[in-house]
Structures are given as structure tokens and as C-alpha cells.
């Protein structure tokens, strides 16, 4: 294990220890009473720096805003990506940001934890059921009601109950079932909330890239670790997608690493601006890419998204809503992917 891995492992061990000490041995979620509707200040805890995990938090925030329209929301996150993801959520009035490298920024790290005590919350929510640090933040908060988001066996029969974006919403609705009529409502979709001028800017960028104004098929060929498909695999898929060029332009959206699994043979777009990338995505016809933050960014940009999965589980991370689809490439070949594309364009 590399030094970075050792540090992260140690941090997780420490968080799990305190989580078990203070949370697992404590009573279950406090019962809400009729005064829950009077909630005015809410803490939502999801201390993770990854783009995808921040985007997967947006449905819960939309749900909380709908239930408590007059409440202000504070987020307990990690890193700076949350500033970009939630910048157009006017109900999110404060983001407490743990540093990504806590052992190099110990003072800032502990200052963020201590800042939880600076506010009296009406409700604190742990957004991820397996996050020990998320549970710990809720436990330590000065909140009237504390929602740890534990597994509910009564809800486990729901097909998509395990999904990381949907699970806390199902659990919260269940907790409030006698006070709100939302148990069977549609789960909110991921949403980065692009402004109109951002959408127009994305349209202008795309028009500057292509001479012919045809609908655009976008691909994202990168992913981290084992989620990244090989160059041979992507070349095969791209050769089939290329057959659609008579009617569609093809655009490869590049990752921050500026690498391409098809060696840049298609028209490429590169940016490190998350919101600009989202503005481009929302103007294309379809997005195809492996499980990654970019896949979730496409889903949150309201473009039809095909998620490609080979190691991670769609039940936890899959795209959903509209014509979006998750494809397990261990069980489906390239022809299936091409047919799925054609059905959606």
C-alpha cells in the first residue's frame, strides 16, 4: 500500500472507531414529532471530495427543499467541488469543507469539525448509510433531530432502495410518512442547476467545434482504476459509433488527465471547468461513458446518458430517469450498446 493509501486507511479507521463509539452504540434516529414542519436550519453531511458523490447528493437536497421550503441548508463536505456543484442552490447558504488531505492540514481539518458546533440545527442528516464520518458529524452536531440514515428492512424490498442517491430519500420519507404524503412520489433526479446563460454558452462552444450543425453523440472514454475500459474495447465501440457520422457529429469529452482511449481520433473537447463541461453536455444528443464523475455530471445536466459498468454495481451508482440506461458490459456486447444508442437518438 502506498503512503497516501496508508494515510487514508488510517483516517477511515479513526472515523469508524469514533462512529462506532458514539453512533452505533447510541439510540436509533430520534423520533420526529409534529413540530418537524417548523424546521428552519438543516445540516446535511456527506464528507467526500469526489465529483460523482457530490452530484449524487443533489436529489436529497432537492427533496429536503421541497419538504422544508423555508429552511436554510448547511452542507458538511470535503474539498472544493461542492462550491461548483451547489453554487446555484440558493437554499444552500453555507458549505463546511474538510480539506482533502487532512493530515497535511490538521488545523483546518479540526477547525471544520469544530465549526459544526457553531450552529444550532433543527435537523441533521447523514446522506450516506455507510459513511462513518457522515454519521459522526450528525452525532456531534447540535441538532434537535438527528437522522443517521440506517438501513430499513421494511424498505429493502423496494427495487432501487440501495441506490446512493435514492436511499436517504426513501428513508427520510419513511420517517416522515405520517406527516408528509411523499412516500410514493418520484425520486428527484441529479441536477447541477445550470443557468440559462451557461446553457447558451455550451451551445456556442459546440457550434464553434463543428462545421455541420448535426446532433452530437458524445463519448467519455476514461475512468479511474478498473472502471476504465481498454483501448481495444473503446476502439471497437468507436468504430461502430463512427458509422452514425452521416447524421451525427461525434465528440470525445476528455478527462482532467487529458487522455484518450481512442487516441484523439475524434473531435475532442477539454476543460477543467465542471460547469462549462456540464453546459456542453446538456446540448448534446446523448452521452456514453463508464461509471465516473463525468457520467454523473452528464446525468445531472439532463442529457440522455448511457452508463457503462464492468466492476461497480448499477444498483448503487447507476444513472436513472427519462431514457437513461445502465449497461453491464460483462453481460452485453457492443452490438447491444449500439442498439441502445440508436433507440435513444
Q: Write down the H helix ranges in 130-176.
A: 132-140, 167-175
Q: Which three cell numbers stand for residue 66?
A: 421541497
For the question of whether the overall pTM of this predicted structure is more than 0.85, the answer is yes
The pLDDT, as a whole number, for residue 315 is 96
**What residues contact residue 186 under an 8 Å CB cut-off, 6+ apart?**
none
Residue-range domain boundaries for the chain:
3-175, 196-344
The pLDDT, as a whole number, for residue 13 is 56
Quote the DSSP letter at residue 165.
T
In this model, does residue 79 exceed pLDDT 50?
Answer: yes
Task: pLDDT band for 94, please (50, 70, 90 cuts).
Answer: very high
Q: What is the pLDDT of residues 231-259, one digit of tens each?
A: 999 999 999 999 999 999 999 999 999 99
Taking phi over 0 as left and psi of -120 to 50 as alpha, with beta for the rest, 16 belongs to alpha
The pLDDT, as a whole number, for residue 340 is 98
Q: Give yes or no for a contact between 70 and 40, defined as CB atoms under 8 angstroms apart.
A: yes
In this model, does residue 21 exceed pLDDT 80?
Answer: no
The pLDDT, as a whole number, for residue 131 is 92
Q: Give yes or no for a contact between 43 and 138, defined as CB atoms under 8 angstroms apart.
A: yes
If you average pLDDT over residues 108-128, what whole number do you get?
94
Task: Let me know if 176 is exposed, middle or buried by CB neighbors in 10 A (0-12, 13-18, 19+).
Answer: middle
In this model, does residue 185 exceed pLDDT 90?
Answer: no
The helix (H) or strand (E) run that includes residue 82 is: helix 81-85
Phi, psi dihedral angles at 278 (to 5 degrees): -60, -35
Q: What is the pLDDT of residues 24-35, one digit of tens each?
A: 434 345 455 556
Q: What is the pLDDT of residues 266-310, one digit of tens each?
A: 999 999 999 999 999 999 999 999 999 999 999 999 999 999 999
Q: Of 67, 203, 60, 101, which Cα lies nearest the Cα of 75?
A: 60
The dotted CATH code for 3-175 is 3.40.50.2000
If you average pLDDT over residues 201-227, what whole number do you get?
96
Q: Write down the H helix ranges in the chain.
A: 3-19, 51-55, 58-67, 81-85, 106-115, 132-140, 167-175, 196-209, 231-241, 274-281, 293-300, 314-317, 334-344
Each as own residue / partner, the long-range contacts of residues 324-332 (CB below 8 Å, 24 or more positions apart, any chain) are 324/299, 329/229
Q: What is the pLDDT of residues 47-71, one digit of tens each?
A: 999 999 999 999 999 999 999 999 9
**Rg (Cα) of the chain, in Å, rounded?**
21
The pLDDT, as a whole number, for residue 289 is 98
The pLDDT, as a whole number, for residue 196 is 98
Give the span between the Cα atoms of 101 and 133, in whole angstroms: 15
Q: Of 57, 226, 187, which Cα lies nearest the Cα of 131?
A: 57
The pLDDT, as a whole number, for residue 101 is 87
The pLDDT, as a whole number, for residue 103 is 80
Percent of the chain with pLDDT over 70: 87
Quote the DSSP letter at residue 321.
S
DSSP result, 252-314: EEP-TT---TTTT-SEEE--S-HHHHHHHHTTSSEEEEESSHHHHHHHHTT-EEEEEESSS-H
In this model, does residue 170 exceed pLDDT 80?
Answer: yes
Around Cβ 273, how many Cβ atoms within 10 Å?
10
Residues belonging to the chain: 345
The pLDDT, as a whole number, for residue 27 is 38
Around Cβ 12, how many Cβ atoms within 10 Å?
13
CATH level 3 topology of 196-344: Rossmann fold (3.40.50)
Task: pLDDT band for 38, please (50, 70, 90 cuts).
Answer: confident
The pLDDT, as a whole number, for residue 34 is 52
Amino acid at each position: 500500500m502506498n503512503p497516501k493509501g496508508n494515510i487514508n486507511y488510517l483516517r477511515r479507521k479513526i472515523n469508524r472507531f469514533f462512529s462506532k463509539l458514539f453512533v452505533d452504540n447510541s439510540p436509533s434516529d430520534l423520533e420526529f414529532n409534529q413540530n418537524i414542519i417548523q424546521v428552519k436550519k438543516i445540516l446535511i453531511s456527506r464528507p467526500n471530495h469526489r465529483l460523482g458523490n457530490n452530484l449524487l447528493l443533489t436529489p436529497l437536497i432537492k427533496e429536503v427543499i421541497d419538504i422544508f421550503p423555508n429552511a436554510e441548508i448547511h452542507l458538511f463536505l470535503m474539498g472544493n467541488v461542492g462550491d461548483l456543484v451547489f453554487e446555484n442552490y440558493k437554499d444552500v447558504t453555507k458549505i463546511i469543507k474538510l480539506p482533502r488531505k487532512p493530515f497535511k492540514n490538521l488545523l483546518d481539518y479540526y477547525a471544520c469539525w469544530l465549526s459544526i458546533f457553531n450552529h444550532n440545527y433543527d435537523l441533521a442528516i447523514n446522506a450516506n448509510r455507510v459513511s462513518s464520518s457522515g454519521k459522526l458529524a450528525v452525532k456531534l452536531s447540535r441538532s434537535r433531530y438527528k437522522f443517521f440514515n440506517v438501513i430499513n428492512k421494511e424498505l429493502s424490498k423496494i427495487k432501487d432502495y440501495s441506490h446512493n442517491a435514492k436511499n436517504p430519500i426513501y428513508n427520510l420519507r419513511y420517517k416522515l410518512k405520517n406527516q408528509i404524503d411523499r412516500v410514493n412520489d418520484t425520486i428527484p433526479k441529479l441536477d447541477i442547476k445550470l443557468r440559462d446563460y451557461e446553457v447558451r454558452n455550451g451551445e456556442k462552444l459546440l457550434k464553434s467545434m463543428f462545421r455541420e450543425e448535426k446532433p452530437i453523440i458524445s463519448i467519455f472514454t476514461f475512468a479511474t482504476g478498473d472502471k476504465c475500459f481498454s483501448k481495444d474495447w473503446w476502439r471497437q465501440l468507436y468504430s461502430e459509433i463512427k458509422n452514425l457520422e452521416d447524421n451525427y457529429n461525434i465528440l470525445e469529452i476528455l478527462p482532467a488527465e487529458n487522455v484518450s482511449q481512442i487516441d484523439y481520433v475524434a473531435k475532442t473537447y477539454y476543460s477543467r471547468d465542471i460547469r462549462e463541461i456540464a453546459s456542453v453536455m446538456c446540448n448534446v444528443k446523448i452521452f456514453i461513458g463508464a461509471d465516473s464523475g463525468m457520467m454523473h455530471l452528464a446525468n445531472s445536466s439532463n442529457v440522455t446518458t448511457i452508463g457503462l459498468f464492468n466492476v461497480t454495481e448499477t444498483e448503487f451508482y447507476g444513472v436513472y430517469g427519462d431514457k437513461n440506461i445502465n449497461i453491464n458490459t460483462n453481460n452485453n456486447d457492443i452490438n447491444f450498446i449500439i442498439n441502445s444508442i440508436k433507440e435513444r437518438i
